[in-house]
Amino acid sequence: MKIGGFMLGAVAGMAAAVYVSRKRPGMAAWASSSLAGACSSIGKSAASMMMKRGMKMTMSASSMAPKHSDDTAAKQGGGWEQVEHLINSDPGLKEQANQIMVESSSKPH
């Protein structure tokens, strides 16, 4: 749309609003009230849609979180054994791991 067409439409709309407000003052008040109500309801529905989407995103994020079960400790035990085996297999890595453990135990909490 060109700017000239937009300006022509704006002037025509203003002229129509002035005409209606002079001929029927109650009609102009009713139209502005109706427009305000429509804008309010559109705003409320948009806000509720955004809140519903936010709830869906929160629910989907919580469903993707890992679930803990009673056998979790047994599964994690095997993982720690693998980590310990990897650390013991490399002397440089073992020295660094020991140094980190000493530093972390000496720091006050």
Q: What is the DSSP letter of 29?
A: H
Q: Tens digit of pLDDT for each residue in 12-65?
A: 888 887 787 787 777 767 777 777 887 788 888 877 787 777 766 666 555 665
Q: Which structural domain, as residue segments, surrounds residue 81?
A: 76-104
Residue 68 lies in a domain: no
pTM (predicted TM-score): 0.30
Are residues 44 and 80 part of one domain?
no
CB 49 within 8 A of CB 38: no
Q: Is the pLDDT assigned to residue 103 strictly greater than 80? A: yes
Residue 63 lies in a domain: no
Are residues 52 and 20 part of one domain?
yes
Residue 25 lies in a domain: yes
Q: What total number of domains does the chain contain?
A: 2
pLDDT for res 55: 67
Are residues 80 and 47 part of one domain?
no
- Record the tokens describing residue 73, joined without a space: 């400790």
Are residues 52 and 7 part of one domain?
yes
Q: What is the CA radius of gyration of the chain?
A: 35
CA 26/CA 28 separation, integer angstroms: 5
- Record the tokens describing residue 103, joined without a space: 């530093």
